[in-house]
Amino acid sequence: MLNRSKVAIVIPTYNHGTRISDVVRDSTALGYPVFVVDDGSTDRTAEILSAIEGITVLTHAQNLGKGAALRTGFKAAAESSRWAVTLDADGQHKPEDIENLLNAVKGAHRPIVVGVRQGMDGENVPWTSRFGRDFSNFWVWVSGGPQVNDSQSGFRMYPLPEVLALNVRALRFEYEVEVLVIANQKGIPVVQTSVQVVYQKGKERISHFHPWRDSLRNSATFSRLILKRIFFYIRRK
């Protein structure tokens, strides 16, 4: 059974000064250790975090990318925890949905749990987010990963020792698709559960995902993974 005393929350953040306080405070209210990774923010994020008690703040001197921030958080959390729940710092996720992720772990299995965002057809959800999710889901599967409904969701739970042992190369947003592919190939189960999603209106929403630039990065990652899969198949032949 899942030992909840071995669960930590990891929140990567980059220039989320207007949202980070609420996200972190709502997360700490759940009673789990909280690790916040400030990935080189240049706004008031560091100042805001310094005023919140009871959390561990890890800082990158410069922006290295979401994947790099997650790994920094995982390494720190692994010193005392066996699981890490990740959620975004933009207020898109509701921390109380962490219970859905925990309840998705059954028996002795140690899976990656992906929170599938519900309500992605809402009026504030940009079409690029809906298209990007479907695009990513397909190519994760083609690359040798699992069939999932939301491969771009940042609301997840990871088994720490297993994930830290994976050779995931990506450092930015594409980390979250590559880790699913490699985990599946290494025999780490990937399961899904429903979570809520909140998209703020227009300029109220903070996003550092650039649809075209980051889609190109994802495409490069998928190409590398597919070529690796083909090469592995040829060698086995």
Helix (H) or strand (E) holding 185: helix 175-185
Of residues 130 and 191, the one with the higher pLDDT is 191
pLDDT value at 154 more than 90: yes
Q: What is the pLDDT of residues 14-29, one digit of tens each?
A: 999 989 999 999 999 9
User: Which of 35-49, 102-116, 118-132, 163-177 has the lowest average pLDDT?
Assistant: 118-132
Question: 3-class SS at 11?
Answer: strand
What is the pLDDT averaged over residues 42-67?
96
Nearest to 179 by CA among 159, 197, 199: 159
Q: Edge-to-edge strand order for the sheet containing 156-159?
A: 56-60, 34-39, 7-13, 83-86, 156-159, 112-117, 190-195
pLDDT value at 56 more than 70: yes
Write down the domain spans for the chain. Answer: 4-236
What is the pLDDT averaged over residues 139-151?
92
Q: For residue 37, which phi and psi values (nearest 5 degrees)?
A: -105, 110
What percentage of the chain exceeds 70 in pLDDT? 85
What is the pLDDT averaged over residues 130-149?
87
The secondary structure of residue 65, as a DSSP letter, is -
Q: Say how far apart CA 219 and CA 106 lie, in whole Å.
A: 34
pLDDT value for 125: 64
CATH of the domain spanning 4-236, picked from 3.40.640.10, 3.30.70.2190, 3.40.50.2300, 3.90.550.10 = 3.90.550.10
What is the pLDDT averaged over residues 147-153?
93
pLDDT value for 146: 95
Answer whether 68's CB lies under 8 Å from 60's CB.
yes
Q: Say how far apart CA 213 and CA 231 lie, in whole Å.
A: 27
Q: What is the pLDDT of residues 169-179, one digit of tens each?
A: 888 888 999 99
Q: How does the average pLDDT of the chain come out, rounded?
A: 88
- Give pTM, 2 decimals: 0.86
| pLDDT band for position 131 (cuts 50, 70, 90) | low
Torsion of CA 2, 174, 170, 172, to 10 degrees: -100
Answer whether 12's CB lies under 8 Å from 73's CB.
yes
What is the pLDDT averaged over residues 88-109?
93
pLDDT value for 73: 98
Contacts of 21 (CB under 8 A, 6+ apart): 48, 52
Q: For residue 58, which phi and psi values (nearest 5 degrees)?
A: -115, 140
pLDDT value for 215: 64
